[in-house]
Each structure stands twice: as structure tokens, then as C-alpha cells.
Amino acid sequence: MTPLCENNAGNNQRYISRRDFWFKAGMGIGGVALVDLLARDGLLAAEPASGPGSCLGSAGITDSPYLPKPPHFKPRAKSVIHLFMSGGVSHIDTFDYKPALEKYHGVALAGGIAGVGGDGEIIVRQGYPGPLMKSPFKFKQHGQSGSWVSELFPHMSTIVDDLAFIHSATGKSNDHVLSHYEWNTGMILMGFPSVGAWVTYGLGSENGNLPAYVVLYDHRGGPFSGPTNWHAGFLPAAYQGTVFRPVGDPILDLKPDAQYSSVEEERRKLDALASINQNHAEKHPGVSDLSARISSYELAYRMQGCAPEAIDISQESEETKQLYGLNDRVTAPFGRQCLMARRLVERGVRFVQLYSGAIVNQNVDTWDAHGNIMENHTMHAAEVDKPITGLITDLKRRGLIDETVVLWQSEFGRMPVSQRALGRDHNPGAQTVWMCGGGIQGGQHIGASDEVGYQAAEQIIWNHDIHASLLHLLGLDHKRLTYYFNGRNMRLTDVHGELIPQIVGATGKETATA
């Protein structure tokens, strides 16, 4: 027997057999020999290159959790830009025109209104329900599709023929935080993986030098429920979203301080740290946080040459900057986010999520219009209207629209009755969502809410249906994209989800890949 170690007292030795010793030593010796042979034959992976030219692929990277993975069938799109209007956009004041609200303006619902159903009772969250209230915004029809759009979105009204509107999206909760969970993770409870995490888990990224999943939140602060919107839940932690700051350096302390460390020295430090971390990981299998940390260190090293270039909007032409509204202080913040999103998907980032609306020191600066719908929505719509229109226009002219799905939504709609005279309360019963790109036919109007916009009435669509359809456009079958956890195969859509035929096509059937 061969001693393995000895404690401080010099007794209670533990032993391993000679056979065990030579077997374990042989693995190390064999590994060294294998590395030497691979090096001689030029088969070792090359060190990741640095600089802008290296930011368009994954050459030489063999250990990243973001390496591209094959889809279940031929995809129609490669990436997603998710535009989330945090706070609750009023569908009946934006894209879901309701003439009945003008007809019944000021009428209480005690006796019921045709198309609402039941006895006309409306369930509100914060109280103070008033009578039915018409929209304070004027509506007009636009495009060849004749889509109704309120005056809130003069720029977006010019691209309605590119958008597929879903007017019957329905949720389960009228609480901001729970509804954010619902639409971002598929569940109304905390702790489940976000849509972006599922997408990157299923497909990886086409660029190993940038995160596969990037989040750009409002320049004023984060949205309701914060980082849980882009968390990886029970998936390996590496698949959670990476937050890029909308101004300044995308990630703090990303650039090395040349005063203390050269690039070569930093590489040596990371290699030593990786060795220590790997030893620890082998002793604690099944803990993904450390593996994610190791991957993040390596990714951060590669990002030093790629992330600054990827979001350097100074490279863009003045015409492009104006297209996104960067010449206007009102539209510039969200315009910068939209332009960065285009640059990221252009470089192979799989999922980019943008937020409008923020919680700052307990102050709510979102689309949550309880007090005055006209004042609130006028301000926030002005911030995003031109940038979003510029994004769609830019994706089209660069040939990126067919390989990029753009999803616009909020966590719920708002009530057709007034609140505190001029506001509207939360309404999970109906909201309008739109999608475009990825081969989706524009100019469509899918489903419908009732006569006054209180509840979805035709082709009711849940979050699971939208998630299933989104995955389908990316070449993923939502029933096959699973992860074993807590005794069963979990999935984004749980045990629900139906493909939306107008979004994915009449049958939704695709040819499986090898």
C-alpha cells in the first residue's frame, strides 16, 4: 500500500493501492502525452484572437457553454430582440381601437355592456373604479392592412404592415412582479428560467466572444422584479442574461488596468485560477454556479476585445444615429439601446432583451398609468416610438429582419374603466402584443378582445402559446426542449402551449434536422 496523506498528529494515515496510484498517475501522464502529440500535429485549439476582427465568430473556443447547438428542425430565425414595456401598456389606447368606448363613455357597468359578458362587474386591483372611459388619443388607420394605431405612435404607424398584432394575449396575474415572471419565465412564481435562458440553453450562441443573452434595461434603472426577469432558474447558471449598461462601459471593470497587469500576465492568472476552480468543481459535482463563474472569467477575457467594439455606436453613420433618434434627448436613451441590440444580433448574440420603464429608489417611472393615462403614455411612447421604428427599418435594410424575431409586449393591458378620473388600472384579461421578422407575415390582426377591451374574446392566447411559437421560429420544439429537475423533465411551457398558426404557419410542421 502507498501512503496518500498524513494528518498533523502523524497518525490515522489513509492509503490507496498501488494499482489505484498508477491508474490515477497514468491518467495525468497520459494526458500530458496526449497534449504533446496533439501539439505536434497542430490539433490543439488556438488561443482566442483579440481585436474587432475576432468578434464575429467562435473560432478556437471549445469549452464555452454558448457553443452553437443544432436546432430540432430548420429554423426561420437565428436571434430574438425582446422589447418589454414595463408597467402595463394600455392596449385600448395604443393598438386595440374600441369605438364602443366612445359610445358608452361615462356609463357605469352595473347593468352590463354587450360584449363584456356576465353582469358587467369589473375586477380591479387598486380600487377606485369609475365608469367606462374612452381613449383620450385619436386613432387612425394606416398601411395597406388598415391597422388602427393611436396618435401615440406616429412613427410606428408607418411600419404596421411589417407587424403581426395579437389582440387576445391573456395573463393570470394583475400584479406587476408576478406578471413579469409570467411573461419572462412562463410561470407566475419566482425561480424559473427566463425565455432567454431557455433559448441559449437550447441553441447556444454564434459568437463565443460575447454573451449569448444580453439585457439592456432602462437608463433610469431596472424593471419590476429586477434580475429574476433574466435569471437561469434551475438551468446551469451560465445561461442567465448578462446586463450591459446602456451608457458608458457595458460592463464595469471589463478593461484590464495596464498599470497592474499585462494581457499575458492576465492570461496566466486566469489559467492558474481556472486550474484551482476546476479542482474545486471536481470535488463538488452538480453545482453549476462555479462552472458558470469559470466560464464567465474566460468570456470576460475574450470580451475585452469584443464587447467595446460591439456597442461602439460611434462607428455608425450620422444618418443611422438619427434613424434611431440619437439626436433627440427624449429618444436617445432607448434609441441607444435599440441600436446596440441591432449591433449585438448582427454579431451573433442569440437573445437581446430591452426594457422601457424603471423602478428607482421605490419611485415608479414606468407605463403604470393609474393617475393619468394621457400624461403617462404620452411621455413613455415618445421615448420608444422612433427608436423601435428605426430598429425595424434598420433590420430590414441590412437584411437581418428575416433572421431576427422582434417581440414587443408589456406585462398586461389596462382597464376600459377610469381610475381616479383620468387613469386606468391593471388588466391581465387582455393586452396587445406584436411580433415581426423571422418570416412572420406582417399586417395581421390575430384574435380580438371584447367590445370594450376588458377580456380576450376570440382566439385567446396565453404566454405559453407565444413562447412555444417563439421557440418554433428558432427551430426548437417546445415539447422537446427540456431539462431534468426536481424529478421530471421541465420545460419553458410546462405542460401547456399551442403554436399560433398565423405566426408559425398553417401547420407548424417542420423537417427535423439530423
The CA distance from 43 to 481, in Å, is 33
Which segment of 98-102, 306-310, 497-501 scores lowest on mean pLDDT? 306-310
Share of the chain above pLDDT 70, in %: 75
What is the DSSP-derived secondary structure letter of residue 57? Answer: -
Render pLDDT for 249-292 as a digit per residue (tens, 0 to 9): 777 666 666 555 666 676 677 677 767 777 776 776 665 566 66
User: In this predicted model, what pLDDT tens digit does every residue of 444-477 receive, in sequence order?
Assistant: 999 999 999 999 999 999 999 999 999 999 999 9
Between CA 418 and CA 136 the distance in angstroms is 11
Asked if 97 contacts 385 with a C-beta cutoff of 8 angstroms, the reply is no
Which residue did the predictor score with more confidence, 334 or 119? 334
pLDDT tens digits for range 165-222: 999 999 999 999 999 999 999 999 999 999 999 999 999 988 888 899 999 999 999 9
Structural contact between residues 457 and 450, judged by C-beta atoms closer than 8 angstroms = yes
pLDDT for residue 95: 98
The pLDDT value given to residue 17: 55
CA-to-CA dists, residue 415 to 36, 85, 142, 431, 480, angstroms: 69, 17, 25, 10, 37
Range list of β-strands (E), 366-455: 404-410, 413-414, 417-419, 426-427, 431-437, 444-446, 448-449
Half-sphere exposure of 337 (CA within 13 A, CB side): 31
pLDDT at residue 146, as a whole number: 98
Task: With a cut of 80, say whether residue 57 has pLDDT above it.
Answer: no
Q: Could you read off the pLDDT of 352-373 as tens digits, one per residue?
A: 999 999 988 767 799 999 999 9
% of the chain residues with pLDDT over 90: 64
In the prediction, which pLDDT does 40 show? 39
Residue 121 pLDDT grade (very low, low, confident, very high; cuts 50, 70, 90): low
**What are the structural domains of the chain?**
2-40 (no CATH), 68-252+317-504 (3.40.720)
Out of 4-8, 154-158, 338-342, 377-381, pick the least confident. Answer: 4-8
Cα-based distances in Å from 334 to 56, 243, 386, 396: 25, 15, 9, 19
pLDDT mean across residues, the chain: 84
Could you tell me if 412 and 427 are in contact, meaning their C-beta atoms sit under 8 angstroms apart? Answer: yes
pLDDT at 340 over 90: yes
pLDDT at 36 over 90: no
Q: What is the pLDDT at residue 207?
A: 86
Q: Does 84 have pLDDT greater than 70? A: yes
Q: Is 251 exposed, middle or buried (0-12, 13-18, 19+ CB in 10 A)?
A: middle
Q: pLDDT band for position 3 (50/70/90)? A: very low
Give residue 44's pLDDT: 37
Considering 35-44, 102-111, 314-323, the range whose residues carry the highest mean pLDDT is 314-323
Q: Write out pLDDT tens, residues 302-336.
A: 676 677 788 889 999 999 999 999 999 999 999 99
pLDDT at res. 209: 86
